[in-house]
Structure 1
Amino acid sequence: MRDTLTVILAGGRGSRLEALTRDRAKPAVPFGGLYRIIDFVLSNCLNSGMRRLMLLTQYKAQSLDRHINLAWRNYFCRELGEFIDVMPPQQRIDDNWYQGTADAVYQNIYAIERAQPKDIVVLAGDHIYKMNYKPMVDFHREMGADITIGALRVSPREATQFGVLQTDQEHRLTGFQEKPDHPIPTPEDPEVCLASMGIYVFNARFLYEQLCDDATREESSHDFGKNIIPAAIDKHRVFAFPFLDENRKSDAYWRDVGTIDAYYEANMDLIGVDPQLNLYDRVWPIRSYQPMLPPPKFVFGSEGSSPRRGEALDSIVCQGAILSGGVVARSVIGSNVRVNSYAHIEDSILFDGVEVGRRSRIRRAIIDKDVHIPEGVEIGYDPVADAQRGFTVSASGLVVIARGEHIEPS
């Protein structure tokens, strides 16, 4: 894989994840207590033997850049030709921000050419999944492909949110629909469509030519899914590669956590007895920054009419957390969280450094870093009252409290 360069698109604004993206890019949003969203694609790269990475950032990149420095720099040795380079917009070609996924790569074409890759893998930095990219690169080369696209099997209902691929028996693309109202299913199964995962392998020279040509088209959105791929299907060798899941479960796991509700459900996937996403896999580990913190602690266990007991049921509790007489159920608790006596938390996600006051009650909420919940406050029990306090309330009733939010005592 040393003649392959990986370009990761990590500049997403994440507007549908507001208020979690007020101060950070979407790939930098915490996930599963210990991780950031970007950690999954980076772990896939490392586990696949891909050690030449360019991370293209744009919006609110400081948090992401800090995380890369803390968690990922030590895995790459520049003297051995390995690197993970964070590439902010440099306006080398024009004065614009990135206009689309293809334009983001085009504006970094000089840095990409200097790496002299044979093939270029383009990945999105904001999806949750496990995949070995090496078989896809091998398939791309065996087929003499110009473009190979990672393909996920989804239902026709789900396919309306994706680019949908049509292929022949050799997996060569014969058609492409971008987020169609009526997606075309596969010939062998009318209940299955092939969806683009936003994972691409390009022949390097071919990609340079297509990007330069697309840049001259004023009517173009400069996007891989909308412009580059549809234009290439008829004249070039474009193939689909079926998603090979490394999650080692009965069903393939791939999640786009682009909305508050999707993000919440993906986190809740982790707390089951047999979680859908396997974070305990030593064969395909997910890496992240591991701060030097003490183990989680659960204190008090008194009995009686008003018991005070620190306990967590069906939950993830990260290092440094203290459950000081409070109860947590079906929740994800980040590092350095403190839950004080008689507090009750259920079906919620608490980011690092959250403090929950005595006798507070929290239900179906996502609380960002370092928020202090005063004593006796209720969150998630009255959506109207939560909205009046300025909290974000999703369509399903989830309450989101942004970082830095000041909460008045009851």
Structure 2
Amino acid sequence: MNEASDVLGIVLAGGEGKRLMPLTADRAKPAVPFGGVHRLIDFVLSNLVHGGVRRICVLTQYKSHSLDRHISTTWRLSSLTGEYVTPVPAQQRLGPRWFQGSADAIHQSLNLVYDECPEYIAVFGADNIYRMDPRQMIEAHVSSGAGVTVAGIRVRREEATAFGVIQTTDGTKIDAFLEKPEDPPGLPDAPEQAYVSMGNYVFGAQVLVDALKADAENTASHHDMGRDIIPMLVAKGDAAVYDFDQNVVPGETDRDHGYWRDVGTIDNYYEAHCDLISTHPIFNLYNRRWPILAHPGQRAAAKFVEGGTANQSIVSNGCIISGAQVVESVLSPDVFIENGAVVQGSVLLDGVRVGAGAVVRRAILDKNVVVPPGAHIGVDLTRDRQHYHVSPAGIVVLGKGERAI
């Protein structure tokens, strides 16, 4: 199989991301910054491009301006060889309506499939943190002869209740696809574990087209890939599972092999950042053989002056730490922290300003947030709840451009 000519990548990036508010108040979920210089969508696009899938359509809808701009300015492949990553907004091709679900988004964009005539279609989600070589999944799909292959990750059964769960008796064929079951089925070789769907699928192109057309005619459907299309093909006995644990990525460590994180909530987003900063990180951003690609912009290197320090932290270009202490934190570009300030266990996005003597603990500060001199965030959660968004785990979040009290 020649992946470059036979596979079309479709990335579903139209999610609203309500559970990530206020980070998604002004941007689509896949455009949320992550890990200093990245956006969430950079992870799936890096995986696809490294894996040889280089005709990629990104379906967007909700507050997509910053996402569209990021894709257009960052993800420029070689037009000489027919490679591209292109944002595709909702176009109302089938009537005056927006996308009604992930399956409807692809159905309304089938012109992309007809134009390219691929043999296979890789439909991947846009907002998870992981590394994966899609070639290995595509090869497993071709070998299985199934109409669709679903990537599954092993988790403890008690954790699987929040996801779509794959039931299989032989470890290959999907017998049932269960949406957030109270009692998830165990695996044949590991009864205490369950397969959770990663939201990544490989289809035979004609199988997907036929399924989408049938789904469009079903008035009872939610027109969703996981809730409708996959169960339809499972019922036909035409669905297989791919064990993500079998995927081997060049340069990975034993510690970050098989890492996958759903960052659908503020607490998950925060915890995923914590996974980056240890000496031997749970997820290693510094794998040079499979880098997560990004464009950090034209900024000077980070600067530490007046005794400013950063420990167990990621500090991006353009940051200035002036006589301040940064501990166990992730700083995006152009963050400025003034004398005597303390930033601990926090995520600061582009352009944040922390004034002299301020204290920021266990917080997420969105782009261009200003913390005045002497202000305290994350020190008194009772007070913080009166002014800011505070997650169930006690993470204080200030929205884009907000000025702290």
Q: TM-score, normalised by structure 2?
A: 0.96
SS at match of 2:196: strand
**Deviation readout 1:200-237 (Å, 9 max, x if unpaired):** 01111111111001001110011121111112223242
**Deviation readout 1:48-82 (Å, 9 max, x if unpaired):** 01100000001010111111122112xx1223121
TM-superposed deviation, 1:34:
1.1
| Alignment partners' CA distance in 2, 1:345 and 1:207 | 49
Give runs of aligned pairs for residues 4-403 of structure 1, distance below 5 A. 4-73=7-76, 76-169=77-170, 171-243=172-244, 244-246=247-249, 247-250=252-255, 251-300=257-306, 309-389=307-387, 391-403=388-400
TM-superposed deviation, 1:245:
4.9
Contact (CA 8 Å) 1:16, 1:258: kept in 2 or not? Answer: yes
Contact (CA 8 Å) 1:31, 1:37: kept in 2 or not? Answer: yes
**Quick one: which amino acid aligns to residue 278 of structure 2?**
G
TM-superposed deviation, 1:333:
1.1
| Alignment partners' CA distance in 2, 1:277 and 1:336 | 24
Contact (CA 8 Å) 1:153, 1:193: kept in 2 or not? Answer: yes
**Deviation readout 1:303-362 (Å, 9 max, x if unpaired):** xxxxxx300111111111110111111111111111100011100011111111100011
**Deviation readout 1:140-169 (Å, 9 max, x if unpaired):** 112221011101001111111121112243
SS at match of 1:233: helix
| Alignment partners' CA distance in 1, 2:57 and 2:127 | 15
| Alignment partners' CA distance in 2, 1:397 and 1:192 | 29
| Alignment partners' CA distance in 1, 2:183 and 2:168 | 17
> What is the identity percentage for the equivalent residue pairs of Structure 1 and Structure 2?
45
| Alignment partners' CA distance in 1, 2:202 and 2:367 | 37
TM-superposed deviation, 1:405:
1.1
| Alignment partners' CA distance in 2, 1:32 and 1:112 | 33
| Alignment partners' CA distance in 2, 1:35 and 1:315 | 16
| Alignment partners' CA distance in 2, 1:104 and 1:367 | 32
SS at match of 1:173: coil
Partner of 2:401: 404
TM-superposed deviation, 1:407:
2.9
| Residue ranges of structure 1 left out of the alignment (5+ in a row) | 301-308
Contact (CA 8 Å) 2:171, 2:187: kept in 1 or not? Answer: no
- Worse-matched range after superposition: 241-250 or 311-320: 241-250
Q: Of residues 2, 6, 9 in structure 2, which corresponds to 1:3?
A: 6
| Residue ranges of structure 2 left out of the alignment (5+ in a row) | none
| Alignment partners' CA distance in 2, 1:168 and 1:118 | 29
SS at match of 1:160: helix
**Quick one: which amino acid aligns to residue 101 of structure 2?**
G
| Alignment partners' CA distance in 1, 2:195 and 2:292 | 27
**Deviation readout 1:103-127 (Å, 9 max, x if unpaired):** 1111101222111010000000000
SS at match of 2:175: strand
**Quick one: which amino acid aligns to residue 177 of structure 2?**
F
Contact (CA 8 Å) 1:71, 1:290: kept in 2 or not? Answer: no
Contact (CA 8 Å) 1:249, 1:276: kept in 2 or not? Answer: no
TM-superposed deviation, 1:252:
2.0
- Worse-matched range after superposition: 169-178 or 363-372: 169-178
**Deviation readout 1:235-292 (Å, 9 max, x if unpaired):** 2421101111534334520000000000000001111110011111111111001211
**Quick one: which amino acid aligns to residue 255 of structure 1?**
R
| Alignment partners' CA distance in 2, 1:118 and 1:127 | 26
TM-superposed deviation, 1:188:
2.3
Please tell me whether Structure 1 or Structure 2 has the larger radius of gyration of its CA atoms.
1
Matched positions, count? 397
**Deviation readout 1:177-211 (Å, 9 max, x if unpaired):** 11111111112221111111111011111111110
Contact (CA 8 Å) 1:130, 1:245: kept in 2 or not? Answer: no
- Worse-matched range after superposition: 262-271 or 221-230: 221-230
Contact (CA 8 Å) 2:99, 2:105: kept in 1 or not? Answer: yes
TM-superposed deviation, 1:89:
0.3
SS at match of 1:262: helix
Contact (CA 8 Å) 1:360, 1:377: kept in 2 or not? Answer: yes
Partner of 1:305: none
**Quick one: which amino acid aligns to residue 367 of structure 1?**
L
**Quick one: which amino acid aligns to residue 63 of structure 1?**
S
